Structure 1
Amino acid sequence: MLVLGITNNDLAGACLLRDDEIVAAASEERFTRVKEHRTWPERAIDFVLAEGGVTLADLDRVAYGWHAGFDAERHLLLYVERVAHEATRRPEGLPHVRKRISDEIVNDRAKRAEFDEFAERHGLRDKVVLVDHHESHGMGAFVCSPFTDALVVTCDGRGDFQSLTISFVSGDEERVLQRETSVDSLGYFYGRITRLLGFRPNRHEGKITGLAANGDPERLLPLMRMMIDIEDGRLRARCGDYYQPSYDTYSDVLLEAVAAEPPADVAAAAQRHLENLLSELVTTHIAGVPTSNVCLGGGVFGNVKLNQRILECPGVDNVYVIPPMGDGGLPLHSAAVVAYREGGHRYDAPSMALGPTAATDDDTLANLLRSYPSLQFTRSDDPRGMLLKALEDNRVIGLYRGRMEFGPRALGRRSIVYRTDDPSMNDWLNQRLKRTEFMPFAPITADVLAASCYVNWRPDHAAARFMTLTYDCTPEFAESCPAVVHVDGTARPQVVRHEDDPFLHGVLLSWHDRTGQAALVNTSFNKHEEPIVGSPRDALDAVSDGIVDLLLVDDRYFVWADDTVNPIV
């Protein structure tokens, strides 16, 4: 069974599944070099089809997880009840509810028309499966999880008239326990705080998560509750001066209230409120279903601190966050749902090394370097030894290895690595990368060392392989690796198993043997507001521009600028 998943809304991209195999997946931004490119994913589609050696005519299904539309069974009673609630309790909010519904009808129409035109032009109309947006996130997370049953939670800004769903899923059951409208959106709540603090919503929420650790989370909770809260077990937004179901429109009352407070306190209160609300919903529902597993999908679960709180909820034993959790992951999410429902196929915590390969050899690299007269390269018979020596010499190293990762996290294929004993690097490396971050860089750790670093980490925590949740750090780790530990004592690790990446696993163990540091810094290989590097030229540009001191290509080649100390010496 061949299934092509496509999204052209928010972060465009494509994914190809063949039976039980994820053949390839990539976001269009990695080809166009436009961050979060909201366009038709022509190059991504061409890439995944080429990787599979197939054409559009060979496909069995084309999955699309945006704008499936208003469905009476899913949405009608939900909205009737929501309008009735507003009319009886807060009638002043009715115009805002009406506008949200109106916007929801109009939103995505042009993008859906673009998809429909593509399907019509290529004779694919009969192969199209429209998957409800939140079912794409939720069932996609379950299908890619290692669990046989789970409480499945989705949460984002909006999608197909919803912003949150909670379901119980097992091998023979899909049962929805709760839905919430796009009026009552925790994604909009957190995104609005992001904008109020001077950042771009739907992109820079991670900065708010990092900033939150520096503030008082309790003092401004009453302000957060004035925006959105739980009433009788349901999320209920308080539309008006303090909240709108949108990233736009801020009243003078709200702007003045936030401007009068320290930004860190605002961020801390928003983070705590988000954690409290979702933890309460998860704790309530996990007690009523025969599982202790939780699957998470949707952009809100890019919040790694929130995911730790959910893992710590009473009744929860394990959590899986689908690695491309937001809308950029929809090609995989929707395709996986179709493959599961029609063919019974599942994908157990799959690798995200699904993009284009580095695909270099001596001649290719030499030809590329003709355009970079200041760069040199060598092929090494001992790449591990050279890499470790460069780390000891305080070199910032770019990794350009094998297939590029799909999703927002660099996982050792398109990463920048550095030693973890220099806490000042959070300032100077961010300046070099032109980033403004409050979160420290993340650690990458071999699995056999992880238990000594991260409190309550277990080998079956698949989410930790993809840097999708934080852990409290042990005192020993915080002392030896301060560059990757946040002010609240947590870190968001990538834990590497030997079977997933033997070379990097060996480097991490050897580094620990040499230095006592149980991790290296792992941050994405890109400059601020640029996509993670895609082509070989993107990686070479980073060396030429001084973003990294040394480039490792495919675990064989090293590239450096000739005005630096020769890394071989």
Structure 2
Amino acid sequence: MKVLGISPLDKDSTVSVVEDGNVLFAAGEERFSRTKQQSGFPRLALQKALEYTGLSMEDFDMVCYPFLTWENEQKLYTRNLEEERQFIRSFQPGDLSRQVKEAMTRVPDRNEPIHGLEHPNATMEKGFLHSSYYSMAGVQKLASNNAALKGSRQWGELATESFQHWQQDLEQGLRDVGWEQPVKRMDHHLSHAANSFYCSGFDEALCVTLDGYGTGLAGSVSEARDGRIHRLHGLPFPNSLGTMYEHVTSSLGFKPSRHEGKIVGLASYGDPSILADVLLSRIDQTPGDFRIYESNNVYFSRYLASKFPKIDVAAAYQYVLEKVATDYIRYWVEKTGMDTVVLSGGVTANVKLNQRIFEIEGVRRIFVYPNMGDGGCGTGAALYHSWPGGAKPSIANAYFGPDYGESEMAAALAAEELDYRRPDNLAAEVAALIHDGKVVARFDGRMEYGPRALGNRSILYHAREPEVNQWLNQRLGRTEFMPFAPVTLWEERERCYHNIEGAEHAAEFMTITFDCTEFMKQNCPAAVHVDGTARPQLVRREVNPGYYDILKEYQKLSGIPSLINTSFNMHEEPIVNSPHDAVRAFLQGTLDYLAIGPFLVKHPNPTH
């Protein structure tokens, strides 16, 4: 069965072509439009998908979309928001004024500089009017209740408008390409559970999904066996850990739904104990469930961000995310007796959270779907409806996008009048350049699917120099608090990372952190975070021989089996797709060398 899956259109719209449970093609519209997290009907991605697979719309048995109709979605969240009103009225939070005063006494003096912050104890300084409003709407019970309920009411109104708009856009887009049949709609969180389970390779698993909103829910737990997925529990929206983390991302001055990773990095510098009890007092945890008080009141996190150091606010939210999520999942692990967990949903982009989930007693194996956000839901829907039954091996890689021929690469280089050559041993030359301190961008093979660069659209550098996190980010126009991620030879994984057994497959996609060994800390400091963890990509030769060979040749020169791998893109742009994109980003980023297909190019105007 051939199924076309289209992800939600409100952001990061993505096309997936799946046949009998096998992904033939998957790519986000952003890679073709060059607008990050592109919304709307994915016309360009669909055109490339049909061109690449040789299919036409008439060849598909079904088109799937991972949301219900706008009317049915509206019924669900309208009911949920009424239940939230009752919960807010009945819940008794802690004495916030007293809690905040006590928390202020726990803030230490700090002088150790943190790159990207003007001062280690920097707060979100706001004017008098803003601060006064945050103090009222975020703290005073009557005002904060009203702010939360107003936030939920506005969310519902915008959601209705959004669902109506994107439903029309989807239907019109499909008509434009000749699809006149009904769209197969499905539960959003089931699509998340499906992509994580059907790509994991496990015969049975506990499927956990956590995100902002999807078909009335903000999370779910399901039991998957024999190719079937049975839901055990749903977390009703707006009790959303995704919304909670979006709020703190916004309150600390970053873009929600895009920069949550910066909060993860920032959190490692702070002390979670300063504000953890304040946050936890607003969450009603019961075995296998929880409710979040005033979930849609963004002024609460803005109030904390205006009073406390950014690093401590970030640390508290990260800690509470980890605690609430692991408490929730631990209950279901114990109840079901299942030792294998698979994860999907935007919240599971949080690599530190995923490490904590793997550390739950009783969890032996873990897998995180590589495109865990809504961009991956179209694939999940298509997998679910095309699944032929029976066992299936895990996905070996996420190289589901297009590739390009040598003639197209040569044309892109010629258009910029760049000199290039074809080395006899490209891997050895690239490794030598990296060993010598050069920054090399790599463009080869099929484009990665999902938010992480996995070697085919990557920038490579050695990990011996911690300062690279500052100067290379500056060169690329980025502001980051986490170090670059390492790529590591598969066979050297236990030399570099502790407690990796059972999570090796997840680590092939950069979806989880591990505590680093002393060897890794000493030899790859640029890839190790302040808390001693790293987010690796393990690479096997049978998965990506060209990428693997560079790393192996580098190990021959240095004795180190890891390199820095960061995404090949300029600031606020998507990862490069075509040879033209690669050449443009190479020149703009003033990178030293470009390894594009079989060709090696030196930058015509090196900066050092």
Q: Same-fold call, TM > 0.5?
A: yes
The 2-side partners of 1:460 and 1:382 are apart by 33
Please name the residue that 1:557 is paired with.
Answer: 599
| CA distances 1:289-324 after superposition (whole Å, capped 9, x unpaired) | 142111111100000000000000011111111000
Cα RMSD, aligned residues only: 2.5
Q: How far does residue 350 in structure 1 lie from its aligned partner after superposition? A: 4.1
Q: Percent identity over the alignment? A: 36
Residue of structure 2 equivalent to 1:45 = 46
Query: What residue in structure 1 maps to residue 237 of structure 2?
Result: 182
Equivalent-residue separation in structure 1 for 2:181 and 2:86 (angstroms): 39
SS in structure 1 opposite 2:35?
coil
Separation in structure 1 between the aligned mates of residue 59 and residue 307 of structure 2, nearest angstrom: 60
Q: Deviations over 1:193-242 (max 9, x none)?
A: 00111101110000000010001011111232255442454221211xxx
Distance change >3 Å, CA 517–CA 94, structure 1 → 2: same
2:572 corresponds to which residue? Answer: 529
Q: 1:207 and 1:565 mapped to 2: Cα distance?
A: 28
Task: Confirm whether residue 396 of structure 1 aligns to residue 439 of structure 2.
Answer: yes
Q: Tell whether the 8 Å contact from 2:431 to 2:551 is kept in structure 1 after alignment.
A: no
Amino acid at match of 2:32: F
| Pairing 1:6–2:6 present | yes
How many pairs are equivalent? 553
Matched letter for residue 293 of structure 2? R
User: Which aligned pairs between 1:26-65 and structure 2 lie closer than 5 A?
Assistant: 26-65=27-66
Structure 1 position 148 matched with structure 2 position 222: no
The answer to whether the aligner puts 1:166 opposite 2:221 as a matched pair is yes
Aligned residue in 2 for 1:544: 587
**Which residue in 2 is equivalent to 1:250?**
299
CA contact (8 A) 2:497 2:516 kept: yes
Deviations 1:353-401 (A, max 9, x none): 111103224xx4443333313x210011111221122112211000001
Residues 436-515 of structure 1 aligned to structure 2 (within 5 Å): 436-458=479-501, 461-515=504-558
Instruction: Give, as a single letter, the amino acid of the residue that structure 1 aligns with 2:437.
Output: N
Contact 1:372–1:544 at 8 Å: present in 2 too? no
Amino acid at match of 1:349: I
After superposition, the Cα gap between the structure-2 partners of 1:216 and 1:459, relative to the gap in structure 1 and judged at 3 Å, is: closer
Alignment check: 8 A CA contact 1:478 1:489 kept:
yes
Q: Is the 8 A contact 1:477 1:518 kept in 2?
A: no
Distance 2:363 2:85 in 1: 34
| Paired residue type of 1:51 | Y
Q: 2:167 aligns with which of 112, 125, 135?
A: 112
- Separation of aligned partners in 2, 1:565 and 1:263: 34
Question: Per the alignment, do residues 12 and 500 of structure 1 end up closer, same or farther by CA in structure 2, a change over 3 Å counting?
Answer: same
Q: Which residue pairs with 2:17 in the alignment? A: 16
Deviation at 1:462, TM superposition (A): 0.9
TM-score using structure 2 length: 0.86
Conserved? CA contact 1:2–1:19, under 8 Å: yes
Alpha-carbon offset, residue 509 of structure 1: 2.3
In structure 2, what is the Cα distance between the partners aligned to 1:512 and 1:369? 30
1:312 corresponds, among 355, 359, 364, to 359
- Taking structure 1 as the reference length, the TM-score comes to 0.91
Letter in 1 for 2:239: D
Measured in 1, the distance between the counterparts of 2:390 and 2:480 equals 42
Inter-partner Cα distance in structure 2 for 1:23 and 1:173? 22
Whether 1:359 and 2:360 are equivalent positions in the alignment is: no
3-state DSSP class of the match of 2:401? strand
SS in 2 for 1:405: coil
3-state SS of the aligned residue for 1:531? Answer: coil
1:23 touches 1:51 (CA, 8 Å); kept in 2? no
Does the 8 Å contact 2:287/2:331 carry over to 1? Answer: no
Number of the residue aligned with 2:67: 66
Q: Which runs of 5+ in 1 are unaligned?
A: none
Structure 2 SS opposite 1:357:
coil
Q: How far apart are the structure 2 equivalents of 1:85 and 1:175?
A: 28
* Cα deviation 1:512-539 (Å, max 9, x = unaligned): 2221222000000011101001111111
Contact preservation (8 Å) 1:129, 1:338:
no
Quick one: structure 1 residues 89 and 232, their matched pair in 2 at CA, closer, same or farther if it must change by over 3 Å?
farther
Cα separation, 2, equivalents of 1:390 and 1:115: 48
The answer to whether the aligner puts 1:369 opposite 2:413 as a matched pair is: yes
Aligned to 1:280: 327
- 1:333 and 2:380 matched: yes
Following the alignment from structure 1 to structure 2, what is the Cα–Cα distance between the partners of residues 39 and 233? 36
Q: Paired residue for 2:104?
A: none
Q: Single out whichever of 469-478 and 450-459 deviates more from structure 2.
A: 450-459
Any stretches of 5+ residues in structure 2 without a counterpart?
Answer: 93-141
